[in-house]
Amino acid sequence: KDLEVKNVFRSSTNRFKYYRDTGPGTGDAKLTDKRKTESERTAMTFGEFLERATAASSGGGRSKEHLYLYGEPLPASVREELPMEKLMSFINIREKALKEPSEEKGPRPFLRPTSMLLWVAADDSNPSVSPLHYDLSDGMILQLQGQKRFILVEERGHESVMYPHAISGKYDRQSKIDDIKEPAKEFDKFQGVKAFQCVLNAGEALYIPFGCWHQVESPSKSVAITIRWNPFAETIRSSTSFRCIALQQIESEAPTPSLSLPPNVAEMLYRKMIQDLPKHVAKILIQRFDAEKKELQRK
């Protein structure tokens, strides 16, 4: 109970929109959902989180404060107890079609976690909701206690029909559609998009692929761990310098003396490197590049 947790999100509603603490302005288009989903991140002890979340929900749903432990990095002591080898076998990704070159002998272990996160919902009045979003990694959710309800969308990546927030804004990778079950009339292009529902019970796991849009509802006493990994991280990291050169040139509208490549050459090299990735990953990254390029040009 004395463990300090830094990712307690507070909201005036039961909806918790993730945001970046730093970075450029929102840069969003005028179209936004009218419902308020702003949340605030704060730190406290785990015991205080449980006490405040329980107290807030005891008012029969009338509380002005909703709390959700949202993607808290797992303590080292807990990570060491996870049976990683069994998890790798469970999701069967050692010898998938992702045949990236490797100097290692034998099959390459693709499950190299980039993050292991804890999610705890303790609000009895309403389920804690993570609005519609996608992640730039593969992920597996392990449900330890209670349930999680998922709505998974067939569309992947930065598609306009999903009404994504600006990449340069603090709500990157999230949709302006506040609730996929009740989208506002303004989001007319979203009509006809296929989605699937599933309920994750204690002891079950769910795999969510790179770029898959999903909305998550966590009823009270829901405890889960998310393990994320990115087998394409090395290629993406190597291409970042070309991407930044191209976008920085557009943003400054003038050559930067410290950069030796023209922006059009940097963009060509970036696209070439990305095209070597699996098609669905390359498509999403190119979508994001083109969208951010347009955002910067508008500025």
Helix (H, G, I), strand (E, B) or coil at 234: helix
> What distance in Å separates the CA atoms of residue 199 and residue 179, rounded to the nearest whole number?
17
Q: Which two tokens stand for residue 231?
A: 């087998």
Q: Which two tokens stand for residue 1?
A: 């109970």
Model pLDDT, residue 55: 79
Model pLDDT, residue 60: 52
Flag whether pLDDT at 85 surpasses 80.
no
Q: Which two tokens stand for residue 5?
A: 């947790």
Q: Contact at 8 Å (CB) between 172 and 135? A: no
Flag whether pLDDT at 192 surpasses 60.
yes
Backbone angles phi, psi at 93, to 5 degrees: -115, 5
Model pLDDT, residue 284: 95
> What distance in Å separates the CA atoms of residue 191 and residue 183, rounded to the nearest whole number?
9
Residue 90's pLDDT band, with cuts at 50, 70 and 90, is low
The CA–CA distances, whole Å, from 137 to 85, 110, 219, 226, 281 equal 20, 12, 25, 11, 9
Of 84-93, 217-226, 260-269, where does mean pLDDT reach its minimum? 84-93
Under DSSP, the state recorded for 257 is: T
Quote the pTM value. 0.81
Q: Contact at 8 Å (CB) between 289 and 270? A: yes
Beta-carbon contacts of 289 under 8 Å, excluding residues fewer than 6 positions away, are 243, 246, 247, 267, 270, 271, 274
Q: Which residue has the higher pLDDT, 32 or 293?
A: 293
| 91: number of Cβ within 10 Å | 16
Question: Mean pLDDT score of the chain, rounded to an integer?
Answer: 80
Beta-carbon contacts of 81 under 8 Å, excluding residues fewer than 6 positions away, are none
Which of 2, 6, 3 is closest to 43 using CA atoms?
6
> What distance in Å separates the CA atoms of residue 42 and residue 172, rounded to the nearest whole number?
20
